[in-house]
Amino acid sequence: MKYVLVTGGVVSGLGKGVTASSIGVVLKACGLRVTSIKIDPYLNTDAGTMSPFEHGEVFVLDDGGEVDLDLGNYERFLDIKLTCDNNITTGKIYQSVINKERRGDYLGKTVQVVPHITDAIQEWIERVAVIPVDGKEGPADVCVIELGGTIGATIFSRHNNNGILDAGDIESMPFIEALGQFSYRVGPGNFCLVHVSLVPVLSVVGEQKTKPTQHSVRGLRGLGLTPNILACRSTKVLNENVKEKLSQFCHVPASNIITLNDVTNIWHIPLLLRDQKAHDAILKVLNLQGVAREPDLDEWTNRAKLCDSLHDPVRIAMVGKYTGLSDSYLSVWKALLHASVACRKKLVVDWVPSTDLEDTTAKEAPDAYKAAWNLLKGADGILVPGGFGDRGVQGKILAAKYAREKNVPYLGICLGMQIAVIEFARSVMNLQDANSTEFDPDTRTPCVVFMPEGSKTHMGATMRLGSRRTYFEVTDCKAAKLYGNVSYVDERHRHRYEVNPDMVAKFESAGLAFVGKDETGKRMEIIELPAHPYFVGVQFHPEFKSRPGKPSALFLGLIASSCGQLDALLQNPSQPNKHIPAKISSNGVFSPKVYPNGHQNGHAYKPVKSLVNGNYYANGNGVHV
């Protein structure tokens, strides 16, 4: 087994996750089998109970693991299926060591960070690296490991919005020590370290500054890790004299210094690595030059160029409670992008805070209320993603009502399906007190009820999680056709509450179709309004299995319906591009409508900058990490 370790320095948010994923793509294109591991130094056992504002979305795996969003990047880029053990956290490591100590496995020895914690980390990596994740038998050839946090700073400094003090991430130290030992343990030719660092450009003089990277590498070397390759984030391509300077002071060959400059979409990143011969540098360090071939990235090249060339827009209103941080809905956003590219449309996402649609906002902040409704009414399609808690629920219900009454294409995911059911009960069935027991435990008309197998007190890993099978009750429905007329589908779940099975008959008699159910027939998985152009709700999360070349069927349906292509798509769902003109329609550069920004928790909404010195692209075509 060969190992590639990706670390980051200077500042957080440089794009280690996308860099690690792109390295995997290039190595896979060279004919190698690749797996991935993400190390998160926080004390949480997993990401399940963390707020999206703290750490972005919680990505769900087939086995039910609630993990860091970077594992979503790995799965999307490499088209693999990871396990919960591919996400290592300090909580998991300490828990496993303490459990061993309680069992007496250490035979009375004093349990310490070194060697017991560091040994546990190394053993975990070796154990998980050999688990096949690509559907083939036997271990992969290369394991790409991403170490979360920032290495190389020794001064306490505030570098994020939460004001958390960071000392080159103290919590990362056991992992750094373990990986230093691990590099020695596996030996030369089996370990390659790629350090992602920042080369800022001072706007005053326009000069690329190398000192931050020099300090970062010096700190890394002082901790026992020596970088083989430098991946330098910058707004522009590094000048040759800058590379020479970095090579001289960081002791890295100039040919091993890679520029990761700003690009129009992240599908260009593997191409940047290939064009700068990063694969040759990695293969040389890993002694794989005679095994691997030249990378074949034609599909990636075509996709990246196609994405850049799209001008005809499709506008989707994303109605949620975490719209102030787009990472909260990263997989949903990516699934929309995959589908829009397949439909040859330029994605424009309008982030609509659900609270801004409510009547209380009309009184307290009328400008935000008007702006939110303008965005909703100007959209080609509406999507309500999953979520928890009652804040903003009424706004989501209003969005579902608008979509139903105005025949606007609608996709509701998890909570988005539940609120669609509640809205239908209130507006169509005249059950004004219809609600979910999550929001009103004493409601007289419980449309959505607590899932029996869950726990109301322990929040972590108690939900209906992971891949579950959904059986289609009817074949003549949009969802079944979009999935290719199969009898069942396997999708990933993350929820506690479901549609009340005792009310299903009443809903169906009123015109709401439950076209997908679980194997018992008690859990409602897919709803549709047959007379509506596209009104679909699903209890599962289809976004987690969407891939750049294989968009999610239901997201594809939403985008196709939003741009008038659904009928053609339903005729041949296995080939979404067949009925779409090969020539990309171009009407010039699209100028989006400008509306006053809404507000999030009383603060003016501001787009989140994805990368330092980079740009945030609300249309989904920019670099987003």
Q: From CA 158, how far away is CA 322, in angstroms rounded?
A: 24
Residue 99: half-sphere exposure toward Cβ, Cα within 13 Å = 7
Q: Which of 30, 218, 617 is nearest to 210 (CA)?
A: 218
Q: Is 244 a catalytic residue?
A: no
Catalytically annotated residue among 146, 177, 491, 543: 543
248 forms beta bridges with none
Q: From CA 16, how far away is CA 144, in angstroms rounded?
A: 11
DSSP line for 408-456: --EEEETHHHHHHHHHHHHHTS--TTEEETTT-TT-SEEEEEE-TTS-S
Strand 34-40 relative to strand 142-147, pairing: parallel
Catalytically annotated residue among 532, 541, 599, 624: 541
Query: What is the distance of C-alpha 173 from the center of its chain?
Result: 26
Q: Is 543 a catalytic residue?
A: yes
Give the number of other Cβ atoms within 10 Å of residue 110's Cβ.
7
The tokens describing 361, both together, are 């906002």
The tokens describing 362, both together, are 């009309």
The tokens describing 186, both together, are 């596996």
Q: Which of 136, 193, 184, 215 is nearest to 20 (CA)?
A: 193
Catalytically annotated residue among 414, 447, 477, 563: 414
606 burial (CB, 10 Å; 0-12 / 13-18 / 19+) is exposed
**3-class DSSP state for residue 479?**
helix
The residue type at 213: T
The tokens describing 488, both together, are 């069942």
**3-class DSSP state for residue 350?**
strand
Query: What is the distance of C-alpha 505 from the center of its chain?
Result: 37
241 Cβ contact partners less than 8 Å away, ≥ 6 residues apart: none
Q: Which of 538, 563, 193 is nearest to 383 (CA)?
A: 538
Q: From CA 207, how far away is CA 194, in angstroms rounded?
A: 24
Q: Is 525 a catalytic residue?
A: no
458 Cβ contact partners less than 8 Å away, ≥ 6 residues apart: none
Q: From CA 300, how far away is CA 274, in angstroms rounded?
A: 11
Q: Which of 469, 481, 475 is nearest to 523 (CA)?
A: 469
Q: From CA 341, how far away is CA 257, in angstroms rounded?
A: 32
CB 554 within 8 A of CB 538: yes
Assign 3-class secondary structure to 539-566. CCEHHHHCCCCCCCHHHHHHHHHHCCCH
Active site residues: 414, 541, 543
